Amino acid sequence: MGTTYLIRFAHTPLKQREMRQLQGKIQAVLDEINRQMSIWDQNSEISRFNRAKTNEIVEISPDFAFVARRALEMAEITDGAFDPTIGALVNLWGFGPDGPRQTAPSPAQIEAARQQVGWRQLELISNRFLRKNVPGLTLDLGACAKGFAVDKIVEFLKKRGFEHFLVEIGGETRAFGLNSDKKPWKIGILRPDGSQNLQHTLELTAGRAIATSGDYRNFYRSESGHIEAHILDPRTGEPTRHHVASVSVLANDCLTADALATALFVPGPTEGLPLLAENFPDAHALYILRHPNGTFEEIASPGFDAE
């Protein structure tokens, strides 16, 4: 999915040969997820669906169906702030497979792309098939597939008896047990200014997951000088333009944390935190707001720092 992964083990004396064998099996799991859900692979199942005609029924793998179902559930809960069918807009703004752009699209182009977006126009049939009900609808699971991949690797390692480890894919992270110092795994949340400085740290263990969405990694500066971030508001068809610089979400699984980080970024904390409290009582969020003078402000849901 165009990113990197890292797995750390503690209290697990593996020989070099055993580690190589384990890495090969892990890579096979990730390759299979790519084969199903990577929009960067023209031969993947999701790419095949995106090329399908309106009302054509496309068979998909069980894991793909699971992620699609969770994505549609998230879209319903957030009233479309999270929308897995946003692919046409992502590509239009230069954040998809067609590559970056230097100028913002016109209002007419945005409106044309919006006609190809709408989670209610995507049907999951019998957990085996997908169908689009409008021409050009493009599925993009980039806001939750990495989280699912973390959960899949966690499941793989737990079945093999590992108890102390951390899995990270593209920044989305989940941890079990203790680190090599016999303490909970310490996780850093970057300051959203493009540096490698930390804004916040927390401890992660017991299978908890954390995911972050921010406007400071994937963006371009338009001809007007405005920074256009890759997180789009499906309801307007344009990049989010508010003071939220990043959102980090703690949850019991990484797919949920990953999807919520995007879903909560779009509306901001005034709408996002009540939505989280009402629908996800086991999850917590940290908003980092950027002020015009270059300073940052943290707004967290109750319980975020209590973990």
Q: Which two tokens stand for residue 88?
A: 């046409």
For residue 94, pLDDT over 90 is answered with no
pLDDT at 214 over 90: no
pTM of the model: 0.92
Q: Which range is most confident: 5-19, 59-73, 202-216? A: 59-73
pLDDT of 114 strictly over 90:
yes
pLDDT of 104 above 90: no
SS3 287: strand
> How many C-beta neighbours within 10 Å does residue 94 have?
19
Determine the pLDDT at residue 82: 95
| Backbone φ and ψ of 118, nearest 5° | 155, 110
pLDDT in tens, 73-88: 999 999 999 999 999 9
Mean pLDDT, rounded, for 44-53:
97
> Could you report the per-residue pLDDT of 14-43, keeping only the tens digit for each?
899 999 999 999 999 999 999 999 998 999
The pLDDT tens digits of the residues spanning 226-246 come to 555 568 889 889 888 778 999
Torsion of CA 114, 34, 23, 165, to 10 degrees: 30
Per-residue pLDDT at 28:
98
Identify the burial level of 6 via C-beta atoms within 10 angstroms of its C-beta, where 0-12 means exposed, 13-18 middle and 19 or more buried.
exposed
Please, what are the domains in the chain? 167-300 (3.10.520.10)
Buried b (16+ CB within 10 A) or exposed e, 272-307: bbebbeeebeebbbbbbbbeeeeebeebbbeebeee
